[in-house]
Structure 1
């Protein structure tokens, strides 16, 4: 099994970051534009098309507003893992910023490296998308 754990700081409030993460049907627009090229929701399944051509069916396992955590599992699509479980969680810090944590467990372990590359690309886009832009002086 491969376990991928990534954390980044985002220069926005946990409430704003969570609002973008929580909008699981709008991931293409609000969280990872360009990295994800299409999203469709069918009940508790999110179908995600990635820029690299991969398409996956993700089962939304948990959506916890209090903990600011979403958990999901790939249950079909072009990647075909034996097992996949991931979670994204948003924590606040004293400076009003957010710590974004993304954990993915996947088997077979041969999917570890390609999955880690996708997570690294995705988290880079998330940071670019959600970091607050500095306001120009008036």
Structure 2
């Protein structure tokens, strides 16, 4: 199983960053606009449409307000080749009063999906950081 970790600092308060991450139905507006073009909630399933045309169905496993953590697993969609297993979590930590540390961890099989998924996560992390910091400036 491949393990991918992306971590970055956000010049914004943990509460503000958590509010954006916590809004699980607004990923395309609050976290990664342009990279994700639409997000739909259907019960515990989040349908995420990427700008590339890939559509992923994610089961929301946990939303933990105290830990500021969201966990999800891919259960369907058009990601090809389809992962046999894909579980991820995103978590926000305080790094001082006005800065946050954002940690995104994904476990995926088969291992050969690690490269493409790490690439997507890298691009998503760059857009998240930029978006969250722009929101902090407003």
TM range (shorter): over 0.9
Match in the other structure for 1:56: 56
Match in the other structure for 1:42: 42
Match in the other structure for 2:85: 83
State the 1:2 CA deviation: 1.2
In structure 1, distance between residues paired with 2:125 and 2:35: 10
In structure 2, distance between residues paired with 1:114 and 1:53: 15
Deviation sequence 1:68-87 (CA, Å, 0-9, x none)? 00000000011221001000
Deviation sequence 1:108-127 (CA, Å, 0-9, x none)? 11111010010000000000
Partner SS, residue 106 of structure 2: strand
Gaps of 5+ in 1: none
State the 1:94 CA deviation: 2.0
Q: Rg: which structure is higher?
A: 1
RMSD between superposed Cα atoms in Å: 1.0
Query: Which portions of structure 1, spanning 4 or more consecutive aligned residues, are displaced by more than 4 angstroms?
Result: none
TM-score in terms of structure 2 length: 0.94
Gaps of 5+ in 2: none
State the 1:95 CA deviation: 4.1
